[in-house]
Structure 1
């Protein structure tokens, strides 16, 4: 009878009298760095925010006092783990402010902030949920109006229906303008390829970038350019602040 001897090598360290087995393939727990990033942002009240890991995904739940705080939480999570997060469990519970007061604040703040140029600007508020409408000649102005509205105390959500009305630039000219404006930045950051598709002023960006900061810079620049009426972001972040993850979820 043949006897086969199998030898298992296990890495063991001892703390006191308790042996600890090191699990080399343990998945990276992204919850602590996300929690730290959020807690360091003075604009966010993190006292009622809960963060947990589920597989490779970070789950964020709890409550925040404003819509802009929720957006800041999303930005913080994205800067650490890219798209591997969910804020579906994070609810906006703002302080009690009347719809009339919210409407007045938005009507005053939006046009004056950064000299946003709007025509036929209207604000509707129902139970803290805001709908903006009107026309502007720049996607940046439309985006800025939505952002300013989201910072107003008592706002739960913002639906931005401000239309960008700018047909002065052809799709070809818009594409050439985007390429020219971003050329130096792409070379400086070793971004070898950026897909730019334009149809009736609607821009779609695709390609790989190294981090969230690059993605944000590119999209911010594009939405400020004349003729751009909408922007679809299909950029993929291939690595994050904590490194490129492999198939096991480790960095």
Structure 2
């Protein structure tokens, strides 16, 4: 089992390793395997990269992000410019209906609304607008359309979990209630947790996922 001090050192090295992150602007604190990142960064995409870097370190049970985005003057854009760019990139996204997602922008905060058939489409829309200049945060409020839920959906999800993480599938319990899937149990890492969630969202008819998985401390 890694100590908190060892985790802190590993995370700091992981942040420094990524050239897209200004590690000097991030403070790292670790307590009982829970990591807190604090400081100021130049873009929203850099903030997401910092969170992902911390999650990749073995032994991390959770990440709390307290990073502020302070966009330099050279990258600032008006809300109108951001909205225009966001609508443009969404229109060019082959996985989306051109009119499925609506965009509003206020002080650099981009809010996405609308309805799509699959969760991956909602993620794709968010991913498309995240790196745009001037974006401070993206709020994804896109809904998944109601679809009939197959009666064998628990079996489908469990089969997918076994394909992605066979060891973890034995420790994950899946409950389904009218399109809402709840995951219970323990996984060995945040990476395994991410795989489990991906497997669930890939099942047809899933509209909501309640994540009650815990990460075991190694």
Bin for the TM-score computed over the shorter chain: 0.7 to 0.9
1:47 maps to what in 2?
Answer: 24
User: Structure 1's 27 and 136: CA in aligned 2 closer, same or farther, altered over 3 A?
Assistant: closer
SS in 2 for 1:166: coil
* Structure 2 CA distance for aligned equivalents of residues 38 and 117 of structure 1: 37
1:206 maps to what in 2?
Answer: 184
SS in 1 for 2:142: strand
* Structure 1 CA distance for aligned equivalents of residues 208 and 32 of structure 2: 35
User: Structure 1's 31 and 108: CA in aligned 2 closer, same or farther, altered over 3 A?
Assistant: same
Q: Does 1:67 align with 2:63?
A: no
Q: Please identify which structure carries the higher helix content.
A: 2
1:125 maps to what in 2?
Answer: 105
8 Å contact from structure 2 (residues 29, 35) kept in 1? yes
Q: Does 1:158 align with 2:135?
A: no
User: Structure 1's 179 and 158: CA in aligned 2 closer, same or farther, altered over 3 A?
Assistant: same
CA RMSD of aligned residues (A): 2.4
User: Structure 1's 84 and 225: CA in aligned 2 closer, same or farther, altered over 3 A?
Assistant: closer
2:152 maps to what in 1?
Answer: 173
Report matched runs for 1:99-248 at 5 Å: 99-113=79-93, 115-117=95-97, 119-170=99-150, 172-187=151-166, 189=167, 191-239=169-217, 244=218
> What are the ranges of 5 or more consecutive residues in structure 2 without an aligned counterpart?
none
User: Structure 1's 186 and 55: CA in aligned 2 closer, same or farther, altered over 3 A?
Assistant: closer
User: Structure 1's 225 and 110: CA in aligned 2 closer, same or farther, altered over 3 A?
Assistant: farther
8 Å contact from structure 2 (residues 185, 212) kept in 1? yes
Q: State which structure, 1 or 2, has the greater radius of gyration over its C-alpha atoms.
A: 1
Q: Tell me how far 1:28 sits from its aligned partner.
A: 3.4
* Structure 2 CA distance for aligned equivalents of residues 127 and 31 of structure 1: 34
8 Å contact from structure 1 (residues 166, 226) kept in 2? no
| 1:14-60 residue CA offsets vs partner (Å, 9 max, x unmatched) | xxxxxxxxxxxx86342221111111123323232222446765432
SS in 1 for 2:18: coil
* Structure 2 CA distance for aligned equivalents of residues 157 and 174 of structure 1: 34
8 Å contact from structure 1 (residues 57, 85) kept in 2? yes
How many pairs were matched up? 212
Q: Pick which of 103-112 and 75-84 moved more.
A: 75-84
Using structure 1 for the length normalisation, give the TM-score. 0.74
Q: Tell me how far 1:228 sits from its aligned partner.
A: 1.1
> What are the ranges of 5 or more consecutive residues in structure 1 without an aligned counterpart?
1-25, 245-251
Q: Tell me how far 1:169 sits from its aligned partner.
A: 2.4
User: Structure 1's 97 and 142: CA in aligned 2 closer, same or farther, altered over 3 A?
Assistant: same
SS in 2 for 1:167: coil
